[in-house]
Amino acid sequence: MHIDWFVLFCQIFNFLLLVYLLKRFLYGRIIKAMDDREAKIAARFAEAEELKVKATEAAGLYEKRNQLLNEAKEKMLNEATMAADAKRKELMEQVRVEVDQVKARWQDMLVREHDAFFYDLRQRAAKQLYATARKALRDLADADLEDRIVDEFLRRVKALDEEKSIQIRKAISGGGNQVTIQSAFSVSGQRRAQIEDVLKTQITNGFTIRYLQQPDIVSGIELRVNGHKIAWSLNEYLEALVESMTETLQKEAHAA
């Protein structure tokens, strides 16, 4: 078989030329493109991995924050609930105190009105009783009410026991030997002398008597000396009347 050496070297040259040209225009470029693509893919994977890690971290962070927020919300809710309860209790207490105060004021006012009413009632009743009794005594027994009052006063002075007399005597001597007799009416001179005689007889001598007229003493007369008192008035009767009326009113109030 004949081998043409020119053709042989020509083919070697052709092949080496082809190797050079393909290396220059094909392999280099294609391999570079492939390597670039691989690098890009690797970079994308790395980026994706990094993003995944970041996303995981972010998710963890958000979860933690969420948990903290939930805890804070729970805590705030609890605190708000507790504060609301405390405020409610405080307001209730305040309202209760205010209600109690209003109630107390109302009760005070009621008591005052009650007292004023019965004071007024007592005054009116006393005046009415006094006028009625005087008229009755004058019409029926031809007697004066003031005289009967003084008589009753004197009877009570006479009826004093020894111990009481001693106490009053001591009180008179401790009070500057002065006795004050107050009455709702004017005591006549005759009755004054009579009173003085009885007192001196029953208690002691050596004191002076001062007479005062006080309309507040409801149809009565009283002796006051250094904390001791001998008296008669319509008050005792009026107290019974007031007590009876109060009882009646309370019954009606309960019934209503």
Q: What residues line the site for other proteins (CB under 8 A)?
A: 1-4, 6-12, 14-23, 25-27, 29-34, 36-37, 40
Nearer to other proteins, 5 or 253 (CB): 5
Q: Which residues neighbour 219 within 8 Å (Cβ) at sequence distance 6 or greater?
A: 126, 127, 129, 130, 133, 145, 149, 184, 233, 234
Closest approach, Cβ 5 to other proteins, in A, equals: 8
* Cα–Cα nearest to 184, from 241, 243, 117, 129: 129
Nearer to other proteins, 22 or 104 (CB): 22
Q: Dihedral, CA atoms, 165, 169, 170, 173, nearest 10 degrees?
A: 170
| Contact present, 180 and 193 (Cβ < 8 Å) | no
Closest approach, Cβ 40 to other proteins, in A, equals: 7
Nearer to other proteins, 24 or 229 (CB): 24
Structure tokens that stand for 157 in this block? 């002075």
Nearer to other proteins, 38 or 247 (CB): 38
* Cα–Cα nearest to 157, from 232, 246, 230: 230
Closest approach, Cβ 49 to other proteins, in A, equals: 18
Closest approach, Cβ 18 to other proteins, in A, equals: 5
Strand ranges (E), 62-188: 178-183
Residues 218 and 185: their CA atoms lie apart, in Å, by: 10
Closest approach, Cβ 78 to other proteins, in A, equals: 56
Nearer to other proteins, 1 or 253 (CB): 1
